[in-house]
Amino acid sequence: MSNFSKSVMASANDVWWSACYDDRYDVMDASIARIQSNETTTKLIDPDGISIAKVEDTSFEFNDGTRARILADAGSSRMYSTDGASYISVNNVGIHINHEAQPRITLTDSDSLFYSPNGSKWINIINSEITLQGDTEINGLNTLIGDGVNFRMEAKTVGLKSVIGWYKSDGTRIGWIGHGSSANYNLTIRNEGVGGNLMLHANDGTIILSNLPTSSAGLPAGGLYKSGGFVKIV
């Protein structure tokens, strides 16, 4: 059938039909359009008329009737959660997983970033190293394998010190070892437990104190020096 506004082709029972207009093409069931196509857009519609798949020259969208669930355009491809708040995005730069407004995983050519729920802590894995940001708790046995320096500490802020502390299960610090600030070159080993000893044990070996000064001149109280084959205390 054809008239001045359209050309129509119908099924034998007149339930399904297609119509060609000057500006679009429609495929209908008994009540709603199931396919619509015009100069810029092609839509595929579910039987209830709620969900829509839409294709344009530069994009693709699947909409569940309330919000977009899949989006693909020149910038990225995104898949959204049912509430639209969280998504997975893939673009030419990398892969991004966001929970609501907060990034949780970001993968690029140079970084693999894994974020805490509030974004205050993260792990970054690159080809040469692993970076952990924020207070970190590691449980179980940890073994460092490598040649040369296996464990390195440096102060984050110029002029401040960096130490290793030992704590009881209640969070009370009982000892620490570390270097002073940039203006203090002392290396301190301290037992903060009241009445606790600081002990050096050698299993049939020798405890060696090298490069001790040979006089007490300029030494603070408690300083060690060697004289006449003896170790003396100022």
Q: What is the pLDDT of residues 100-146, one digit of tens each?
A: 989 999 999 999 999 999 999 999 999 988 888 888 888 899 898 88
Q: What is the total residue count of the chain? A: 234
Q: What is the pLDDT of residues 197-227, one digit of tens each?
A: 999 999 999 988 899 999 999 999 999 999 9
Q: What is the pTM of this model?
A: 0.66
Concatenating the DSSP letter of every residue in the chain gives -B-SSEEEEE-TTSSSEEEEESSEEEEE-SSSEEEEEESSEEEEE-TTS--EEEEESS-EEEE-SSSEEEEE-SS-EEEE-TTSS-EEEE-SSEEEEEETTEEEEEEESS-EEEE-TTSS-EEEE-SS-EEEES-----S------SS--S----SSTT--EEEEEE-TTS-EEEEEEE--TT---EEEEE-STT-------SSS-----S--SS-TTPPTT-EEEETTEEEE-
- Which residue ranges make up each domain of the chain? 1-74, 151-199, 208-234
